[in-house]
Amino acid sequence: MKKYCLETGSETETKQLAHRLAKLLTPGDVITLEGDLGTGKTTFTKGLGEGLGITRTINSPTFTIVKEYMGALPFYHMDVYRLENSDEDIGFDEYFHSDGITVIEWAQFIEEYLPAERLNIYIERIDDKQRRIMFQPNGAYFDTVCKELVQ
């Protein structure tokens, strides 16, 4: 399936892009975020949350794997960094089949639990401020979402 690439030149631009993506999402959507430490996965998540009308501060779930927020839709923010080399299932299916939006940082560590239909996002650091953000839709629905996002 096609990939879509965009670049952002600041933290604010990344949040704005995520904010726009949030407006295109529908209940049950699953979004994965991959990229090296400090590339902007949580920043992107904050933008998504804003786009969903969440007013509570979103920060990385350090002590828990998943944090739940309520906005226009329920919003589930997972950071599964600590599940590397573990096959622990915290009940992922319930989140993935819910009516909320689920975002997963370091999703490659729970690859085997991810639903087939999802939007993969990869963030790459170009320099201090510049990021390349690559969208890889799995399924026709997310392909349409990406087309709308980049147009």
32 binds ligand ATP (CB under 6 A): no
Closest CB to ligand ATP among 13 and 29?
13
39 binds Mg ion (CB under 5 A): no
128-143 burial, b at 16+ Cβ within 10 Å, e below that, comes to eeebebebbbbeeebb
> In sequence order, what DSSP letters do the residues of 30-91 get, joined into one string?
EEEEE-STTSSHHHHHHHHHHHTT--SPP---SSSSEEEEESSSEEEEEE-GGGTT-----S
60 binds Mg ion (CB under 5 A): yes
Question: Which of Mg ion, ligand ATP, none binds 53 (CB below 5-8 Å, type-dependent)?
Answer: none
SS3 23: helix
61 binds ligand ATP (CB under 6 A): no
Looking at the DSSP assignment, which residues form a beta bridge with residue 30?
102
120 binds ligand ATP (CB under 6 A): no
Question: Which of ligand ATP, Mg ion, none binds 11 (CB below 5-8 Å, type-dependent)?
Answer: ligand ATP
Report the residue from 14, 32, 102, 136 that binds ligand ATP according to the rule CB under 6 A. Answer: 14
* 39 exposure class (CB count in 10 Å sphere: 0-12, 13-18, 19+): buried
Question: Which of ligand ATP, Mg ion, none binds 34 (CB below 5-8 Å, type-dependent)?
Answer: none
Residues that bind ligand ATP (CB under 6 A): 8-11, 13-14, 35, 37-43, 60, 105, 129, 131
Residues that bind Mg ion (CB under 5 A): 41-42, 60
